[in-house]
A and B are shown apart, each in its own frame.
Chain A
Amino acid sequence: MQTAESGAGQPPLLEARGLSKRYGATQALDSLDLAIEPGEVYCLLGPNGAGKTTTINLFLGFVPPSGGQALVSGMDVSTHDRETKRRLAYIPEQVMLYRNLSGLENLEYFAALGGKGSLGRERLADILVEAGLERDAVDRRVSEYSKGMRQKVGIAIAMAKEADALLLDEPTSGLDPKASNEFSALIERLRNDGVAVLMATHDLFRAKETGTRVGIMRYGSLVTELGTDEIGHADLERVYLEHMHD
């Protein structure tokens, strides 16, 4: 097992070391280095094509890296596919579910595959409600759900997994402000529980609200990194726009 020691003696929950990905002539990600410790929420900001989703795909092992390593708890994703995925939860921009199953059945299925098959239906229904779904919606078929409701099931799937690290790809895209706020509160809770979060987003406001650190990406490279407690909303927007207009 490949490990990387952090300051506290434990490897970071999520770590990229010179992580690169090339698709033909396109350098989608260029030597990314970052480390995310338990209780940190790292927001990757950047325009489309900056390499945010590629970074998440590399941590999930969906694409092989062209160079470098993606590590989860010190284990290389390329060589420890199952072990690393057991420690990760993932919420995509659009949570897609099985239309013929209810929200609860979807959650049961994903939770079971994620190794949480022992959670009873009562507990899973509670998790759905904690994720913001109305109690009377949990047994309805997903074909009747709005995008926001599906997204909440996605959050519940991540919560049920009780993963060490959470990968979020534009998770609040398309959510109404109330749902977005509920989502932020949820991330706050997970952070307090020691979960490491890597969130790709376009949403500067949400990044400032929920993140502990923000990395700005452009053309596959991390161009700057900021602590959210160091700057205000306006400063973040200014820094972001500066880098986008170089």
Chain B
Amino acid sequence: MIRHSIRHIVRKEFTDVLRDGRFRWCSVLVGALLLVSLGHGWVQAREAQREHAAAQATARDHWESQGEKNPHSAAHYGIYAFKPRLALSFVDEGVDPYTGTSVWLEAHRQNDFLLRPAQDATSAQRVGALTAAQVLQHLVPLLIILLTFGALAGERERGTLRQLLATGVGRRDLALGKALGIAGALGLLLVPAAAVGAAALVVGSPGPAASPVARAAVLAVVYLVYFAAFVALSLAVSAWARSTRTALVILLGVWVVNGLVAPRVAVDLSKWMHPTPSALEFAQTVEREMATGTEDIIPPDRDALAERLMAQYGVERVEDLPINDVGAYLQESEEFGNRIFDRNYGALWDTFERQGVVHELVAVAAPLLAVRALSMGLAGTDVEQHRHFASAAETYRRDLMRRMNGDLTENSRSGDFSYQAGAELWESTPPLRYDAPTLGWVLGNRFLSLVVLGGWLAGTILIAAARVRRAEVA
């Protein structure tokens, strides 16, 4: 039960903050930005999901109505796969604008993703695009700093701290009451935003997700922990600093490091520790290996395959084979290509993940990085979930190619270039069914960020408790 004195401190802080014109203006501004970014993100995500669904249906229709043709031609005709926008992607669009949301699935190639809004954005859009996640990660902590920097330093500077402590109120109660009072004032800003977000999720979720409500609840907890850590840190600095000016300068420094410096350092450090090839270098490497193979991955030998098949079927000539050796060769080529893709894309994805771990470790110095990783993870827009979809799409592509090559192999003969399959084959190919990862999968991936963020909260509370206990009265 909250102690009597804490209740009074909470009420007074709440009233004091609400009557402060600076808070009113700042909260109106931040609140408006938050609501607008939530609304804009939701409309955009819903629109994107609608367009993707329509495009996916069109792509499927094109696939099924492509007419009669050789299955290998159909494999080259290919089909598009669209990454679904998950339910919470309107809160945090994560890496989607950079990684793209659709991929063309065709024979012989594992293509890069297309539709990257960041590529098409004007410079003004790049600066002006503000998501709800950015408001929560950058502007709310700034508001917390502005509300909290004077919590104890200001009381000391004004002389009210002496009078307060002379009443017999405990320092810990005072700090806790102030923290809760400020939290209450922030609640006036965040609760409506959370309600709007929840309504958007319930009324018209932009897209599917495994357990979207649970994801939203965990996302809310993550942000609350982040804000609580900022409140505790601001109280600690306010208790330690000799003046409100010093407290404000230190806290603004922390904000700049957290929001601007650390993310840049994390990017540079992770690239330095785990370098990735440029897009051109990567494409050239894949192309070269596809042409020549590697030490371990040898390109298929068509003559050797023909020999094997003739031995297997007990015939002397390729023309006597009961199957089409070209189809078998195409499938072997696919499998060769798959190994090259697995080797190169696997290494690239693994490097991205190692870079992600560096980001999560730098979060020890800047909690924003932990929150960002968790936010993107829970919104389903992080690199890992992009990889999850890319793997599903690639698995689908390989299955599609196997079906096309299998049909060519089984239903035509070597040297028969007139064979054509029809709608029956295209329709028998199931559409891509994608199940987004579960909440447990996401949290397992982001365990390090959870630990770091929890550490930030525990650490800042301990520091605040120590600083408040030792805070000088005058």
Contacts and interface: CB of A to CB of B under 8 A. Distances in A.
Contacts of A88: 166, 168
Given A82-B168, A98-B12, A110 B163 contact: yes
A113 B159 contact: no
Contact of A95 (B16, B163, B170, B474): B163
Interface string A92-117: 10111110110001000110111101
A101 B473 CA distance: 22
A94 B474 CA distance: 13
Contacts of B16: 98, 100-101
Interface residues of B, number: 23
B8 A62 contact: no
B320 interface: no
A60 B162 contact: yes
A100 B19 contact: yes
A157 interface: yes
Given A62-B473, A101-B12, A113 B162 contact: no
Contacts of A85: 165-168
B158 A113 contact: no
A174 to B, nearest CB: 14
Contacts of B4: 112, 117
A61 to B, nearest CB: 8
A147 to B, nearest CB: 12
Contacts of A16: none
A111 to B, nearest CB: 8
Given A105-B15, A109-B8, A82 B170 contact: yes
Contacts of A167: 166
A96 B160 contact: yes
A113 B167 CA distance: 6
B285 interface: no
A154 B164 CA distance: 12
A88 B29 CA distance: 45
Contacts of A157: 163
B206 to A, nearest CB: 42
Contact of A92 (B5, B15, B159, B169): B159
Nearest to A63: B473
Contacts of A112: 4-5, 8
A113 B8 contact: yes
A137 B365 CA distance: 51
Interface in A107-133: 109-110, 112-115, 117
B20 interface: yes
Contacts of A113: 5, 8-9, 164, 167-169
A240 interface: no
Contacts of A187: none
A92 B163 contact: yes
Contacts of A114: 167-168
B308 to A, nearest CB: 88
A22 interface: no
A90 B166 contact: yes
Nearest to A91: B163
Given A98-B12, A100-B20, A90 B162 contact: yes
B174 to A, nearest CB: 9
A105 B15 CA distance: 10
Interface in B121-174: 158-160, 162-170
Contacts of B8: 109, 112-113, 117
Given A96-B159, A101-B15, A157-B163, A86 B168 contact: yes
A225 to B, nearest CB: 26
Interface in B415-474: 473-474
A62 B165 contact: yes
Contacts of A110: 163-164, 167
Contacts of B474: 57, 62
Contacts of B162: 60, 62, 90, 92
Interface of B: 4-5, 8-9, 12, 15-16, 19-20, 158-160, 162-170, 473-474
Q: Top 5 A-B pairs ranked by shortest CB distance?
A: A85-B168, A96-B159, A90-B166, A100-B19, A113-B167
Given A101-B12, A113-B169, 16 more contacts: A57-B473, A60-B165, A86-B168, A90-B166, A95-B163, A96-B159, A101-B16, A109-B8, A110-B163, A110-B167, A113-B9, A115-B168, A117-B4, A157-B163, A161-B167, A167-B166
Interface of A: 57, 60, 62-63, 81-82, 85-86, 88-90, 92, 94-98, 100-101, 105, 109-110, 112-115, 117, 154, 157, 161, 167
13 contacts: A62-B162, A63-B473, A82-B170, A85-B167, A86-B168, A92-B159, A92-B163, A95-B163, A96-B158, A101-B16, A101-B19, A112-B5, A117-B4
